[in-house]
Amino acid sequence: TQLLEQSPQFLSIQEGENLTVYCNSSSVFSSLQWYRQEPGEGPVLLVTVVTGGEVKKLKRLTFQFGDARKDSSLHITAAQPGDTGLYLCAGAAGNQFYFGTGTSLTVIP
Amino acid sequence: GAGVSQTPSNKVTEKGKYVELRCDPISGHTALYWYRQSLGQGPEFLIYFQGTGAADDSGLPNDRFFAVRPEGSVSTLKIQRTERGDSAVYLCASSLTSGTDSPLHFGNGTRLTVT
């Protein structure tokens, strides 16, 4: 059972546009991670957020953890074709990481 | 290389056969996780090892699935009497320490196809 719902499931945008991906849950997590996965490869960690309300920036990517530590968002500014991939959020609870349903992003040159 | 290695990268088997999937974690990583991923979906937790013992196997779908890590390093996921619904990418990840403070490092997965 997936505890984390991501939206949208699919996103196709033009190069240079902005976008936001959402990760929502009814559960509280001790931390939340965002990964990007390319075809034929495993997910690669982008960022970990720990504190409710925390905002982290990674170049053109901005990650926010909800105040109640139940949800998170990923905002990409001026998307590039190299941003194409499957974006996954993962919430930490106990000794497990629960992965979201995934958002498949395609950036068209 | 220094990353997580999974073999084979692809496995095609007939319904009812037995398969073994291998994971070589990063040297020194004590925690090891197995996940299953369907196309375009997020990974689904199967089992977590801390050292040699299975700390949490609550994600294994049924008793046809079993995993071992006898020396606390390499792990093998074993599937008996495979079914077509077992077709998926099986991902292995390792982390330096137990718990969730240490990030996961994933292998490239084994794509299992049951015909």
pLDDT of residue B40: 83
Does domain B5-98 bear CATH number 3.40.605.10?
A: no
Q: Does residue A83 have a pLDDT over 90?
A: yes
A87 Cβ under 8 Å from any chain B Cβ: no
| Structural contact between residues A23 and A89, judged by C-beta atoms closer than 8 angstroms | yes
Mean pLDDT for chain B overall: 94
Nearest CA of chain A to the CA of B56: how many Å?
Answer: 8
Q: How many domains does chain A have?
A: 1
Nearest CA in chain B to A92: B100
pLDDT of residue A67: 94
The 10 Å Cβ neighbour count of residue B47 is 22
Structure tokens at B107: 């292998």
Facing residue for A45 by CB, picked from B55, B101, B103: B103
Pick from A35, A8, A4: which is nearest to A105 by CA? A8
Q: Does residue A81 have a pLDDT over 90?
A: yes
A:36-75 residues touching chain B, CB 8 A cutoff: 40-45, 48
Domain ranges of chain B: 5-98
| b (16+ CB within 10 A) / e for B72-91 | ebebebebeebeeebbbbbb
Domain holding A59: CATH number?
2.60.40.10
Enclosing domain of residue A37: 5-108
